Amino acid sequence: MDKPRKLFIKTYGCQMNVYDSERMAETLGAQGYVETASPDDADMILLNTCHIREKAAEKVYSELGRLKELKTAKPDLKIGVAGCVAQAEGAEIMRRQPMVDLVVGPQSYHRLPELEAKARGGQKALDTDFPEEDKFDRLAARPKARRGPTAFLTVQEGCDKFCAFCVVPYTRGAEVSRPAPRVLTEARDLVDRGVREITLLGQNVNAYHGAGVDGDWSLARLIHALAGIDGLERIRFTTSHPNDMTDDLIEAHGTCAKLMPYLHLPVQAGSDRILKRMNRAHTAESYIRLVERIRAARPDILMSGDFIVGFPEETEADFQATLDLVEEVTYGYAYSFKYSTRPGTPAAERAQVPEDEKADRLQRLQALLTRQQRAAQDAMVGRVVGVLFEREGREAGQMTGKSDYLHAVHVRDAGVAPGTLAPVRITGSGRNSLAGELAV
C-alpha cells in the first residue's frame, strides 16, 4: 500500500464546522489520508472557513498568502478552501489566489473524493452546488475512532428564517433535517466508541423535523429517543430560534433527565423596532414570556444568547432596550457582536451605525453580560453538580470536565478516568472556570 498522504485541516467558526472537518477527515481518510497537526508536513491543506462576521473572506486570503511559501517549496501540496467562504466566493477564490486547487461548499463535502482526485491530477476542482442527494449518507460511511467523551452530531442544517443580517440561508442553504433513524444510528455508534455526551447541532436545530418511522419527528421526540440509548449520559442542542421553541421541547427540559439544563436561545436585540427590521418575527416581550415558560419547566436552566449591537438604524434608545432585556432575562453565558455588513443580505443596504458608536455599545453590553456571567458562575459555589470529566488538567493529578451547566470544572486528585460522570461539590469560582472536589 502507498504511504499515507497527510492532511492538515484548519477550522474557523462554529461547532458545525468542527463537525464538518471531522467528517471531511474521515472521507479523505478513505482516500488514504491521515491527519497531521502540522501544515509543514501536509500533502493537503484544507481551510474550513466561516463567513458569519467581519472580514472573514479577507482572513482566508491572508492565510492563503501565508501558505504560498509552503506551496512554492512543495509544489505537490494541494490547497483547498471549504466552508461558508468557499460557498460565498466560489471561483473568485481561485481567481484571486491561483495556487488554490480545490474549492468546496458545505453541501458538497461528500464529493470530496472526486474533487481530491481531480486536484491531484493537476486540475482545478470546484463544487459549490446544492445537490439533491443526502450528503450525510455518504459522509457517514466510516466513523473514525473517537478521542474524547463528548461529540457533536449534526441533525439539521441550513435556515429558512432569513434574518436580515445573516448569510447562513445563502451559504448553508435551505433548512434540511436528517432522518431520525440515521441520527439514532450515528449516536449509538458514537456511544459504542466511548462518547457520553452528544450535542445536537443545527443552524436552527429546534426547527428539526426529520423523517421518523411514523411521520416527521420533532427535536423533542428525537431527544427522548436518544435518551433511551444506554451509555449516553448527556444531551445538548444548539442553536435555537425562539419561534421554534415548541411546547414539547420546553416540556422535555423538565422531563428528560439526560437533557442538560443549558439553553442557547439568541434574541439578538431588545427593541421591537429593530427586531422587526431584523425580520426576527418575535418581540422582546414574547421572548421574555418564552424564557419564563422554559424556566417554569426547568427552574435552574442556564440561559445563553447572542446579541448584535449597531444593527442599521439602531438608536441609543433601541440599544437601551437591549440592555433592559438582558437585565430582565439574566444570562449565564452570552456572545455579543458588532453588526457586520454581509454582502447580499438585506441589511447591508441600509443606513449604517458609525463604528465608534458600535464599539461603545458593545463595550457597555459586554460589561453587563460579563457581570451576569460571573454571578451565575459564582452562584455555583457550594452546590453539588454533575461533571463529565474529559481530560487531565494542567496541574499534576488534576482532571478537567464540564458541569451540567457547561462550566469548566477542575478537580484535584480526582482519580477518575476521562469519560467518568460524577457529582462534584463546587468549592471555588475562578476567572473562567470552577474548582471542586468529588462528592462521592
Please give the residue ranges that form the binding site for ligand 5AD (CB under 6 A). Answer: 52-53, 165-166, 266, 268, 306, 308, 337, 339-340, 342
425 to each of 180, 260, 365, 403, how far by Cα in Å? 37, 18, 32, 11
Q: Which is nearer to ligand 5AD, 113 or 344 (CB)?
A: 344
Region binding ligand SF4 by CB under 6 A among candidate stretches 57-65, 163-171, 249-257, 317-325: 163-171
Q: Would you say 27 or 238 has its CB closer to ligand 5AD?
A: 238
Which residues in the 236-255 window bind ligand SF4 by CB under 6 A?
A: 241
404 and 260 Cβ atoms separated by less than 8 Å: yes
- Binds 142, which of ligand 5AD, ligand SF4, none (CB < 5 to 8 A, cut-off by type)? none
Considering the complex, what minimum distance in angstroms separates the CB of residue 32 from ligand 5AD?
Answer: 36
Q: Which is nearer to ligand SF4, 163 or 190 (CB)?
A: 163
Cell of 110: 461528500
Q: Are 223 and 256 in contact (CB under 8 A)?
A: yes
CB of 310 to ligand 5AD, least distance (A): 9
Task: Let me know: does 415 contact 384? Beta carbons within 8 Å.
Answer: no
Cα 190 from Cα 186, distance rounded (Å): 6
- Only one of the segments 161-169, 336-344, 377-385, 386-394 lies at the binding site for ligand SF4 (rule: CB under 6 A); that segment is 161-169
What cell does 163 get?
Answer: 434574518
Buried b (16+ CB within 10 A) or exposed e, 342-370: beebbbeeeebbeeebbeebbeebbebbe
Residue entry with cell 476567572 = 431
What is the x/- site pattern for ligand SF4, positions 366-405, by CB under 6 A?
Answer: ----------------------------------------
Residue 162 lies near ligand SF4 (rule: CB under 6 A): yes
- Residue nearest ligand 5AD (C-beta atom): 306
Q: Rounded to whole angstroms, how far apart are CA atoms 156 and 209?
A: 8
Alpha carbon distance 424, 440 (integer Å): 8
Contact 421, 387 (CB under 8 A): yes
Closest to ligand 5AD by CB, 106 vs 418, is 106
156 lies in the site for ligand SF4, by CB under 6 A: no
Q: Using CB distances below 5 to 8 A depending on partner kind, what does residue 204 bind out of ligand 5AD, ligand SF4, none?
A: ligand SF4
Based on the shown chain and the rule CB under 6 A, indicate whether residue 169 belongs to the binding site for ligand SF4: yes
DSSP H or E stretch at residue 401: strand 399-403
Note whether 203 binds ligand SF4 by CB under 6 A. Answer: yes
Query: Strand 211-212 to strand 215-216: parallel, antiparallel, or no bridges (unpaired)?
Result: antiparallel
Interface residue with ligand SF4 among 28, 60, 85, 168 (CB under 6 A) is: 168
Looking at the DSSP assignment, which residues form a beta bridge with residue 8?
Answer: 45
Where does this chain touch ligand SF4 (CB under 6 A) — which range of 134-142, 164-172, 293-301, 428-436? 164-172
270 contacts which partner out of ligand SF4, ligand 5AD, none, CB within 5 to 8 A by kind? Answer: none
From the list 153, 148, 163, 176, the residue with the least C-alpha distance to 391 is: 148
- The least distance separating ligand SF4 from the CB of residue 161, rounded to whole angstroms, comes to 4
CA–CA gap between residue 416 and residue 292 (Å, rounded): 38
Shortest distance, position 52 Cβ to ligand 5AD, whole Å = 5
Under 8 Å between Cβ of 423 and 399:
no
Q: How far is the CB of 246 from ligand 5AD (least distance, A)?
A: 20
Which residues contact ligand SF4 (rule: CB under 6 A)?
A: 159, 161-163, 166, 168-169, 203-204, 241
